[in-house]
Structure 1
Amino acid sequence: MKILIALGTALSLNLSLNLSLAAAPARADSLVDARAAARDARLAEDPAWADLLQYELYPVTGHLRSLADDPGFFNAPDGARNPAAELDATLTRLFEPARPEAPDDHPQCRFPARHHWLRQRLALSAAQLPEQPCPRLEKWAEEITPGGVTLVFPSAYVNSPASMFGHTLLRIDPPGQTEATRLLAYTINYAAKADPTDGFTFALKGLTGRYPGTLSSSPYYVKVREYGDMESRDVWEYRLNLSPDETRQLLRHAWEIGATRFDYWFFDENCSYMILRLLDVARPGLRVAQPFYWTAIPVDTVKGVVARAGLVTDVSFRASTGTELAHRATRLDPASLDAAIAVAEGRRTPQSLGSTPQAIEQLEFADRLVSFRGHAGKLDQDEALARLKTIQTTRSQLPAIDTGTVPVPARPESGHASGRVGLAAGRLGGANALFLDLRPAYHDLTDPETGYARGAQIRFLDLGFSQREGQGWRLDRFLPVDIVSVAPRLSWTQPLSWKVRFGWERTLGAGRASGPTLAGGPGAAWEWKGLLGYVFLENQLLGHGQVEKNWAIGSGPLAGLLWDAGADTRLQLEAGRQWFNDQRLDRSVARAHLRTRLSPRDNLVAGYEWTRIGLPGNDHTERSERRLSIGWQHYF
């Protein structure tokens, strides 16, 4: 019997070898024909091929290169810069013989999107180019069950450096998906592979492309829990009209880039830009990524997708736990709210609230508050579960009531553009002056809040120049990072406000040069009838040739107030003082800034700033100066 089995195996192997040898000349002829057809059709110049290889022009030199920073993404030695060579090499590899011992390693399985596109464009039959089995890819696609695509935008979360601009990802919707089942759908997410707890380091590395970007897939309910519950971020869902075939091609390309290293850059090669390029591969000719050549701020990419006629078919809003709690708090009077908080904190039993409709709302508020604090890590998990069990047991014995729906806020795409330029005239240090400001991204406390998080300022690469009469233009500030979080404290949550900035500033008066600075500190904020007040302990390290040892470190209070005088007008008032370790140096400041919106893209602004500076020197001179300006701002 063993002899017969061995003989059969040998005959089988010999037959396979003969068939392979017989097929080799035919496969070689098919490859020659395919490469010739590709050259005749000039496929290497097709924009769809450029999308598949992530080709783009260098911003400075204009030379073509791929965004992929991994040699394994290419089949030709110079494939990162030579589309024609890469196409020839890809075709050659796709025609390689089958690998029964490692089917998933075959080039057709490693590059399924390229394989699919080339097979379609060259009309290659199964006889010319045999289809190779790809077990891992097929299992992954089967689990996801692609039917359509939804663009998901979790709003900005200023307390996480990785999410300060907001974020975009894709949800792959199976056929026949319902409201009840969409949480089970899978997502395609691209993000920097980094520990984002250190905001300064994350910003610095993100600005210089020192993090690898990675693509991942996970169930949507995991992301909803992460964004809506743990980070309290509202989530917007934009249903796209991609067909099932286009969705499958998107997944094929996601598979290709999933194992590839891309350097992650904050402003251009980021999460949102990669998502747009996935859409471009799914539908050749869409080119939705093209307008975002220099920057790809997530909210701006959402605007770009919405602006494409017919691409978005439906928009839905998913309120975060924090937003829902804020809404429910408005439905309770102060005494009832305090009682509900006492239940959530275990200082009062749920049964003590009674069984009235108001008590039911109190129980539901307490239930969500316990969950909110548990997800935020402010409550031990076992303790949170115990409190939830007690509250929910009491609540289950009471009837259902209508507690209203969370109001849907203005959609993110309705907000102002991220870039802003400003020109103003006025007085500085007793002389007539002009002021020029440029901010590529993306929002500050005086900008219109529609579509943005309240109390959040995130400015990157902020530049300011001034020209006094009879003098040339001088740099007033260059701030790669300037972040302020003004988070109002409420009876049920007491978030920490904070601020940080670093770069170059003119800190010692208009007559002295700007110098390096690092500043920031903790704070607190309160809101009352539309007035948002805040106070910070502002610490600052500055470098300048006019101070002892060329550097000084100081600290002091800064208080401010934001007031919306109307739908289109906002006033900001601030005052503060800092004392430095060089006791001869101290600074006091008071400023006012008024912004009135003229149009969706234009503001009229006016500002006043008084600064008193105690300057180091033998006579410890003090000087004060004023800056007065009125001008225009334009968003772009």
Structure 2
Amino acid sequence: MKRIFPYLALFTCITAHAAPQVPAERLQALADDPYWIALGHYETGKLGGWRSYVDDADFFLAEGGPSNPAAELRATLKALYAPAELGDKHPQCIYPARTRWLRDQLQLTDLPQPNCSEFKAWYTDINPHSTVLVFPAAYLNSPSSMFGHTLLRIDQPDVHENNTVMLSYALNFGAFIEGSDNSILYAWKGLMGGYPGLFALVPYRDKLKEYSRLENRDLWEYRLNLTPEETGRMVEHVWELKQIRFDYYFFDENCSYRLLELLEIARPGIELTDQFPITAIPTDTVRAVKQSGLVESIDYRPSREKELLARAEPLDHAEQQWVLRLAADERLLDDPAFLALPAPRRALIQDAAFRLVRYHASGEERTSATATRSYRLLQGINRNPPPPLAVDRPELPEEGHQSRTWQLGLGSRDDRAFAEYGLRMAYHDLNDNLSGFPLGAQIEILQLKLRQYENNHWQLQRLDLATIRSLTPRGELLKPWSWQVAGGLERVPGEDGDERLVSHLNGGAGGSWQFGENTLGFALATARIEHNEDFAPFIATAAGFNTGLLWHNKLGSLSLEASGDYFHNGEVRRRLSLNQQWEISSNLGLRLTAQRDFSQLSTPVNEVLLELKWYHY
């Protein structure tokens, strides 16, 4: 409540207007109104009553405001009649969205008229007119971006006529991080609510550079059909949230969920947040916004990496080698061997080399050598311009399968039949329906599998906390590393032909290569640590490999994999597996899995499983 202390002090010296006497029934009805609930970011408490998502006392005027919408409404109504001489410290200036709504609901024609110069200048600078929902696509190499991200772009009235998108503002909600936490600590604190979340309005050009250039992420822009009044109403509420802290959690109270709350402020009556009681994956929230009828049109902005690869695609091996040489030494533009190439081919090579230089310079300090190289290449492009670049638009991310997966399977392990029941909270593996997802990307969070063997024998088969694989193919121009990491509980071959439930953490790194449009091969060196009751040491370590082939075919996705773990205590574990998923629909798949496990502790074991997967939020 620090924000109200200044005007409370002045109350003792200045005579205030008297707030109107409103019947208690009318005040309670307003406090129960969904719009007032939205303005206070209230939700129904787990034990009844209300609680606000806002984790900051500065946002509230009433002592019990975080859990009492009625008390907060009464305190707000009284505060609106504070003396106008308070100026920018007046509650009307601090809470313009509350003020507008209460004034309209109660026909408050006698309110004091403070100047509110700070708010008016801020609002005029933003000049809100229309809204665009921006979705930077998933980026596996950043823990905070693995599921994608959403933000809102606030456009001015003349954005189309004057092509002034770069002057728009980006409205973003994100974790506030002090210092530089490493990726593991960042992921842990993000899961456990260890960071506060803040709203921020920043120039859109800065966000565009951050996502599309530095992180090489495609951008999807969903223009919403909000009216200027609705957009303005939302921006007014953002002023109320300046430096106001929320709890931040990766999977529910995150960037996407908070923006849904703002859209409910903009257009009263739409119900978006009610659809996400447990998790709020960005692609699911984009789908919800689209299904609510808010989307007017969709634009696609390819990343710098996507543009580079599209320009280099028609070049053969020798021409791509020229791209690498020119990107390293611009003086080769005058090499007779280069000048002997046909002009149209030189145009493509020069443009690809220029894009490669810019790609490698992303996020680095500008040097004179890079500036000179870029300038010389740009001169060559101007003398011999290439044809316009056309980048194929991928499938819409929100048209892919939904995030949560229910699984029901029947199978046999050697001569023992079983039924298997599974639930995965989020959200995609290598064999899942590919539409809307990149080939070779896997992010699975919180996957549980239970087995029921004959004679009603139940066992926990696995509990995966996280399984992440980034199999980005290497090419002539870009050579990214592929990597994977996984951790949790799983069954492994044990002594006497039994299975042991072990805890483990493993990871690996290597390379992936694309063969044609829909086939990917990979080979990774791996390391593993494991707690196994059959082993003498509490923690056993192993080195190994994981290699395979992934083929997206007309029926679905087929994968062939071979893996091995060689433990320091002499145990050797190897596996051969085949997976074929048939895509029945975008949210329904049928998967056949066949695998053979080898272990020093037991004879080889064969397992076959036929599994129905239902993708459902």
**What TM-score bracket applies, with the shorter chain setting the length?**
over 0.9
> 1-side partners of 2:352 and 2:289: how far apart?
36
SS in 1 for 2:38: helix
SS in 2 for 1:176: coil
Q: 1:107 aligned to 70, 75, 91, which one?
A: 91
- Residue 371 and residue 129 in structure 1: after superposition, are their counterparts in 2 closer, same or farther (change >3 A)? same
* Kept after mapping to 1: 8 A contact 2:330/2:377: no
SS in 1 for 2:274: coil
> 1-side partners of 2:303 and 2:487: how far apart?
32
User: Which structure 1 residue ranges, 4+ long, deviate > 4 Å from structure 2?
Assistant: 16-20
Decide which moves more: 158-167 or 348-357.
Answer: 348-357
- Residue 381 and residue 472 in structure 1: after superposition, are their counterparts in 2 closer, same or farther (change >3 A)? farther
Decide which moves more: 588-597 or 166-175.
Answer: 588-597
- Residue 479 and residue 197 in structure 1: after superposition, are their counterparts in 2 closer, same or farther (change >3 A)? farther
Q: 1:317 aligned to 290, 296, 300, which one?
A: 300
* Kept after mapping to 2: 8 A contact 1:413/1:451: yes
> 2-side partners of 1:77 and 1:222: how far apart?
39
Look up the equivalent residue of 1:198 and give its one-letter code.
Answer: N
Decide which moves more: 444-453 or 465-474.
Answer: 465-474
Once the two structures are superposed, the pairs formed by residues 189-228 of structure 1 within 5 Å of their partners are 189-194=172-177, 198-228=182-212
SS in 2 for 1:258: coil
> 2-side partners of 1:290 and 1:432: how far apart?
41
* Kept after mapping to 2: 8 A contact 1:542/1:553: yes
* Kept after mapping to 1: 8 A contact 2:84/2:113: no
Corresponding position of 1:545: 533
> 2-side partners of 1:525 and 1:107: how far apart?
59
> 2-side partners of 1:256 and 1:452: how far apart?
37
* Kept after mapping to 2: 8 A contact 1:533/1:561: yes
> 1-side partners of 2:345 and 2:44: how far apart?
62
Corresponding position of 1:135: 117
- Residue 196 and residue 433 in structure 1: after superposition, are their counterparts in 2 closer, same or farther (change >3 A)? farther
SS in 2 for 1:597: strand
Q: 2:288 aligned to 304, 308, 330, which one?
A: 304
Q: 2:266 aligned to 282, 285, 298, which one?
A: 282
SS in 1 for 2:273: coil
**Which consecutive unaligned segments of at least 5 residues does structure 1 have?**
1-15, 616-621
* Kept after mapping to 1: 8 A contact 2:27/2:70: no
SS in 2 for 1:550: coil
Q: Residue 595 in 1 paired to residue 578 in 2? A: no
How many Å apart are 1:586 and its aligned residue? 2.4
Deviations 1:309-352 (A, max 9, x none): 2x111111111111111111112222222212210122762233
> 1-side partners of 2:367 and 2:550: how far apart?
38
- Residue 560 and residue 79 in structure 1: after superposition, are their counterparts in 2 closer, same or farther (change >3 A)? same
* Kept after mapping to 2: 8 A contact 1:229/1:320: yes
Decide which moves more: 104-113 or 297-306.
Answer: 104-113
Q: Residue 249 in 1 paired to residue 233 in 2? A: yes
How many Å apart are 1:197 and its aligned residue? 6.5
Q: 1:269 aligned to 232, 236, 253, which one?
A: 253
Corresponding position of 1:586: 572
How many Å apart are 1:536 and its aligned residue? 1.4
With the length of structure 2 as denominator, give the TM-score of the two structures: 0.92
* Kept after mapping to 1: 8 A contact 2:82/2:112: no
> 2-side partners of 1:633 and 1:196: how far apart?
40
> 1-side partners of 2:47 and 2:25: how far apart?
28
* Kept after mapping to 2: 8 A contact 1:428/1:468: no
Corresponding position of 1:11: none
- Residue 468 and residue 17 in structure 1: after superposition, are their counterparts in 2 closer, same or farther (change >3 A)? closer
Once the two structures are superposed, the pairs formed by residues 596-611 of structure 1 within 5 Å of their partners are 596-611=582-597
Identity %, equivalent residues: 36
Deviations 1:581-601 (A, max 9, x none): 223x22111111110101122
> 2-side partners of 1:517 and 1:134: how far apart?
59
* Kept after mapping to 1: 8 A contact 2:80/2:91: yes
> 1-side partners of 2:247 and 2:89: how far apart?
25
Corresponding position of 1:91: 77
* Kept after mapping to 1: 8 A contact 2:27/2:74: no
> 2-side partners of 1:381 and 1:634: how far apart?
52
> 2-side partners of 1:511 and 1:62: how far apart?
48
How many Å apart are 1:18 and its aligned residue? 13
> 2-side partners of 1:163 and 1:304: how far apart?
20
How many Å apart are 1:382 and its aligned residue? 3.3
Q: Residue 57 in 1 paired to residue 44 in 2? A: yes
How many Å apart are 1:19 and its aligned residue? 12
Deviations 1:360-384 (A, max 9, x none): 111111111100111054x964332
Corresponding position of 1:633: 613
**Which consecutive unaligned segments of at least 5 residues does structure 2 have?**
1-9
- Residue 394 and residue 17 in structure 1: after superposition, are their counterparts in 2 closer, same or farther (change >3 A)? closer
Decide which moves more: 542-551 or 435-444.
Answer: 542-551
Corresponding position of 2:362: 375
Decide which moves more: 287-296 or 409-418.
Answer: 287-296
* Kept after mapping to 2: 8 A contact 1:156/1:166: yes
Deviations 1:283-326 (A, max 9, x none): 111222221222110001111111112x1111111111111111
Once the two structures are superposed, the pairs formed by residues 550-589 of structure 1 within 5 Å of their partners are 550-566=538-554, 568-583=555-570, 585-589=571-575
Q: 1:434 aligned to 408, 412, 419, which one?
A: 419
> 2-side partners of 1:387 and 1:489: how far apart?
25
Q: 2:165 aligned to 182, 187, 199, which one?
A: 182
Q: 1:536 aligned to 521, 524, 535, which one?
A: 524
SS in 1 for 2:395: coil
Corresponding position of 1:5: none
Corresponding position of 1:8: none
Q: 1:396 aligned to 382, 406, 409, which one?
A: 382
SS in 2 for 1:80: helix
Corresponding position of 1:46: 33
- Residue 505 and residue 61 in structure 1: after superposition, are their counterparts in 2 closer, same or farther (change >3 A)? farther
Corresponding position of 2:445: 460
* Kept after mapping to 2: 8 A contact 1:538/1:557: yes
> 2-side partners of 1:494 and 1:363: how far apart?
20
